Amino acid sequence: MYLPNLTDFSPFSLEKLLRTCFSLPDNSSSCCVLIDLDDPSAVSGLEFLNTPGNAVQKRALTYFYEPLRGDVGEKLGLKNCDLFAFKKTGGSNLDPENLLYSSDGGKVAFTDHICPNYDLVFAITDYSLTAPLTAMAKEFGFRGATLHGLNETILNSGLSIDYHLVSRQAELFRSFLDQADRFNLTFECHNKSHELIIECNNQTAQKSHGLCPSGVPDVANLPAGEVYFVPHGADGSFPFRFGDGTLCEMIVEKGAITQANLISGNADRVNDRQKQLEEDPATGIIGELGFGTQLLPFAGCDIQDEKILGTCHIATGRSDHLGGNLTPELFNSRQNASHDDILYAPPKTPEIVVSSVEMVKNDTTTKILENFVPSDSLLEHLSAEYPVDLIRALPV
């Protein structure tokens, strides 16, 4: 379910976003903005602004760093705001190199300079920094946010909403799924059905809701709005779409992908994935099952699109930032220690339909989603905080 345009959203306000998500002002916080660059030394004197590309990093300056250095930072009571760049990791949630460059040309380190010295850290990057930044926050006690892939649609929709409402809605959704025993997912792709069973073992459902209260070290993934589980196990199969449109079937046994079979497209892509699974089996471990909770337009970027009501996503790999136990040390290569979301949504996976998601809890089976549409049972539960009549009228 998605909103087809941006007319229902207020213009982006950084002041409103940070007041809400981080309970500012407190007149004592120092902050920094982190960006990733192929050549991080190009942050010196803002040289990277003079080269093509780096759209996300340039938005980081326009919409975050410059306002936080100026009037917005003053209104929020920030002591200072600094800018640093690190080398692009090349993968989602991979640990970055410890070396960063400052906008004045200096060299600093995450461990010695960034983590101990800033209360608020905002990572606005091409590749997600959520997992490593969350680990750093827990160790050093700061708060922050990751906003990878930031684009204009995200600025004017996912970051322009009331996060108190987002939190209430996410909690209502979470309470419906809480302590589920398992989820049964059915996929349709090229006239073939695939079924995947994800075991949750009565665990407490978690939520990403965007609020990071003062005094609690944490990193928000913005835009926020999802409910998620770290699976205890999984079996079955599911279709997967590579970025070039190649489709394959992923066979899952005992909680991990063990085999990748070509459905259509480039066989080399599938063979490369199979080789990676054999060389580093941890890359196939199912590390997350998530459900979007928000009414938003598609942005063409998973950080927002996985938060849209009616979508679901599976993730493989690293799970320590979600409360799981799969850390980078458990991979055969730290370059494989990523957390990769597999989002199912009509614009992202047009050849794949999630025809049904069922929750099993207390020996009762309840349908959650059908063809990307929330079930009547779920909508009835959400009616206190959601415009149910509007939801029923939205396109899929």
Q: Evaluate whether residue 254 is within a structural domain.
A: yes
Query: Is residue 114 domain-shared with residue 172, that is, in the same domain?
Result: no
Q: Evaluate whether residue 8 is within a structural domain.
A: no
352's tokens: 């794949």
Q: Evaluate whether residue 3 is within a structural domain.
A: no
Asked if 118 and 32 count as a contact pair (C-beta separation under 8 A), the reply is: yes
Would you give the DSSP letter of residue 42?
A: G
Query: Is residue 191 domain-shared with residue 52, that is, in the same domain?
Result: no
CB atoms inside a 10 Å sphere around CB 389: 9
Asked if 78 and 20 count as a contact pair (C-beta separation under 8 A), the reply is: no
Sequence-distant (≥ 6) Cβ neighbours of residue 226 within 8 angstroms: 170, 207, 208, 290, 291, 292, 293, 306, 307
Query: Is residue 208 domain-shared with residue 342, that is, in the same domain?
Result: yes
Q: How many domains in the chain?
A: 2
Q: In the listed set 155, 171, 194, which residue is the last one of a domain according to the structure?
A: 155
Q: Evaluate whether residue 217 is within a structural domain.
A: yes
Query: Is residue 243 domain-shared with residue 269, that is, in the same domain?
Result: yes
Q: Evaluate whether residue 1 is within a structural domain.
A: no
In 3-state terms, what secondary structure has residue 139? helix
Query: Is residue 348 domain-shared with residue 210, that is, in the same domain?
Result: yes
SS3 letters across 296-329: CCCCCCHHHHCCECCCEEEEEECCHHHCCCCCHH
Q: Evaluate whether residue 2 is within a structural domain.
A: no
Q: Evaluate whether residue 9 is within a structural domain.
A: no
How far, in Å, CA of 51 to CA of 99, rounded? 22
Query: Is residue 145 domain-shared with residue 212, that is, in the same domain?
Result: no
Query: Is residue 389 domain-shared with residue 247, that is, in the same domain?
Result: yes
| pLDDT the model gives residue 372 | 96
Would you give the DSSP letter of residue 346?
A: T
| pLDDT the model gives residue 97 | 97
Half-sphere exposure for 208 (CA within 13 Å, toward CB) = 30
Burial tier of 72 (Cβ tally within 10 Å: 0-12, 13-18, 19+): buried
Asked if 231 and 199 count as a contact pair (C-beta separation under 8 A), the reply is: yes
**Residue 101 φ/ψ, nearest 5 degrees:** -115, 145
Tell me the torsion sign for CA atoms 72, 74, 77, 81: positive
Query: Is residue 121 domain-shared with residue 168, that is, in the same domain?
Result: no
Of 126, 90, 88, 74, the closest CA to residue 302 belongs to 126
Query: Is residue 89 domain-shared with residue 186, that is, in the same domain?
Result: no
Sequence-distant (≥ 6) Cβ neighbours of residue 210 within 8 angstroms: 20, 21, 163, 166, 167, 220, 222, 223, 224, 225
Query: Is residue 130 domain-shared with residue 168, that is, in the same domain?
Result: no
| pLDDT the model gives residue 7 | 60
CA 136 to chain centre: 17
| pLDDT the model gives residue 13 | 97
Range of the domain at 215: 163-393
| pLDDT the model gives residue 1 | 61
Q: Evaluate whether residue 5 is within a structural domain.
A: no
Half-sphere exposure for 112 (CA within 13 Å, toward CB) = 7
Pairing of strands 182-189, 352-361: antiparallel
pLDDT in tens, the chain (396 residues): 666 565 678 899 999 999 999 998 877 799 999 999 999 999 999 999 999 999 999 999 999 999 999 999 999 999 999 999 999 999 999 999 999 999 999 999 999 999 999 999 999 999 999 999 999 999 999 999 999 999 999 999 999 999 999 999 999 999 999 999 999 999 999 999 999 999 999 999 999 999 998 888 999 999 999 999 999 999 999 999 999 999 999 999 999 999 999 999 999 999 999 999 999 999 999 999 999 999 999 999 999 999 999 999 999 999 999 999 999 999 999 899 999 999 999 999 999 999 999 999 999 999 999 999 999 999 999 999 999 988 888 877
Query: Is residue 100 domain-shared with residue 201, that is, in the same domain?
Result: no
Tell me the torsion sign for CA atoms 154, 379, 187, 361: positive
Q: In the listed set 131, 155, 179, which residue is the last one of a domain according to the structure?
A: 155
Query: Is residue 194 domain-shared with residue 333, that is, in the same domain?
Result: yes
Q: In the listed set 118, 138, 155, which residue is the last one of a domain according to the structure?
A: 155
| pLDDT the model gives residue 4 | 59
